[in-house]
Structure 1
């Protein structure tokens, strides 16, 4: 009977936390040793998350880690798929206690509180997406999204981030992110950080987008000016 009561309490707590919309984007600010103001942004989608730190003034990329997550009572467990600072954490799990309100997430014991940026709206592409193909010269080239080498794009209602990584080799290849909008079938990225080239911070890129059979068709020009036509599929 006691176990049933505990299970019921945990279920109610979990439902309460979800009803308070952990899904979305959250932020706080910290200060680096050199006095630089750092911006920390966390995006939670249904089952996937990413945390990134970068300079709030220059856009210089500092750190990112993420993967999948699950909730048990008031504890979140993350399974790390990529970590730009410590690759040995890939494949391990990290559990921490949280207190979630409508406007904040407090990480208990870590003296950290994140403020809500959005609740998964208004952007129409909220979710975690895996690159599943490209169209070149009219020919569709599909890729297996279950392989260890992945390119994931994770979006809240206003924030986006892409990450290229390999879980088998515990390898990180690159990431970039910022804010986005979806207006009149145009998807616009406003880049705030780019791990491969800090000078890309401040750049805005606009693409045509279309959802076809649930897949996101993404067409335009890359930050290098190269034409692209990508296909992205929602992550299971």
Structure 2
């Protein structure tokens, strides 16, 4: 029960406000955003002004007695670390999250600041995995669970999707930014996109509804293709 309360306290989106990045030195003007939802986490490094995606890593997350444990499922900055686990000590006070870790190569100390009102809510907040997609003929195909995953992690107003394979340590793409989800309309405002930087700054709107634990998502992609997808919570 204590671990559940700790996860609830840390859920949401955070911005790195001081300290070095975990796997890279951030260039001037770069941003690091972390999200923690439903036992998953993701960290993205990007420069919105220059439309540059710099890297991302993430995986599963557990909390216990002031310890935060990360197990990596993907890492664009160092794929060899996929499957490894690192443990941090942490403290949380006044929307400031302090992380400290004595790794093999250096001692890491970071301060993260919450980016949104903890009391705010979204019907889509959490970690989702794509489980169905319609083809060109409109037929919905079920996607079998396995090491190849496409996840979308959403806080109250931020999102990041990631496609990767935990078995091969392959990374296929990611994108993220801010979003709104009201009155059946889901709108993404793209701040970084690993595949095509020209998409940064675009806003895409979709129809959505959550029914029987499934998020039904339809509209047009950034390239104008029809999208009709089903997502389910990963945990």
TM-score using structure 2 length? 0.88
Which residue does the alignment assign to 2:40?
Answer: 48
Q: Is the 8 A contact 2:48 2:200 kept in 1?
A: no
**Distance in 2 of aligned mates of 1:46 and 1:124:** 14
Task: Please give the residue correspondences for 1:9-88 in structure 2 after superposition, counting only pairs within 5 Å.
Answer: 14=3, 17-18=6-7, 21-29=9-17, 36-88=28-80
Once the 2 structures are TM-superposed, how far is the Cα of residue 72 of structure 1 from its aligned partner? 1.8
Q: How far does residue 54 in structure 1 lie from its aligned partner after superposition?
A: 0.5
- Structure 1 unaligned blocks of 5 or more: 1-10
Aligned residues: 223
Moved beyond 3 Å, runs of 4+: 14-19, 29-35
Q: Which residue of 2 aligns with 1:112?
A: 110
- The structure-2 alpha-carbon separation of the partners of 1:125 and 1:16, relative to structure 1 and needing over 3 Å to count, comes to closer
1:184-236 deviation line (CA, Å, top 9, x unaligned): 10000000000011111101000000112110011001111101101101002
1:144 corresponds to: 144
Deviation at 1:16, TM superposition (A): 6.4
Distance 1:120 1:154, change over 3 A: farther
SS at 1:199 equivalent: helix
Q: For residue 156 of structure 2, give the secondary structure of its aligned residue in structure 1.
A: coil
In the TM superposition, what is the alpha-carbon distance from 1:157 to its structure 2 partner?
A: 0.5
Q: CA deviation at 1:67?
A: 0.6
Report the Cα distance in structure 2 between the residues aligned to 1:187 and 1:18, rounded to whole angstroms. Answer: 26
Aligned to 1:213: 212
**Structure 2 gap ranges (5+):** 101-106
Matches within 5 A, 1:64-213: 64-108=56-100, 110-118=108-116, 119=118, 121-136=120-135, 137-145=137-145, 147-213=146-212
Summarize deviations over 1:28-73 as a string: whole Å, max 9, x none.
2579979521111000002001011111422311110001010121
SS of match in other structure, 1:37: coil
Report the CA distance shift for 1:44/1:35 in structure 2 as closer, same or farther (over 3 A): closer
CA distance in 1, matches of 2:51, 2:229: 26
8 A Cα contact 2:17 2:113, kept in partner: no
Select between 30-39 and 120-129 the one with higher mean Cα deviation: 30-39
Shift of 1:117: 1.3
Shift of 1:121: 3.3
Contact 1:150 1:166 in 2 (8 A): yes
Matched residue SS, 1:202:
coil
Residue 30 of structure 2 aligns to a residue whose secondary structure is: strand
The 2-side partners of 1:171 and 1:156 are apart by 25
* Secondary structure of 2:49's aligned partner: coil
- Matched residue, 2:104: none
TM-score, normalisation: structure 1: 0.88
More deviation, 152-161/50-59: 50-59
SS where residue 66 of structure 1 aligns? strand
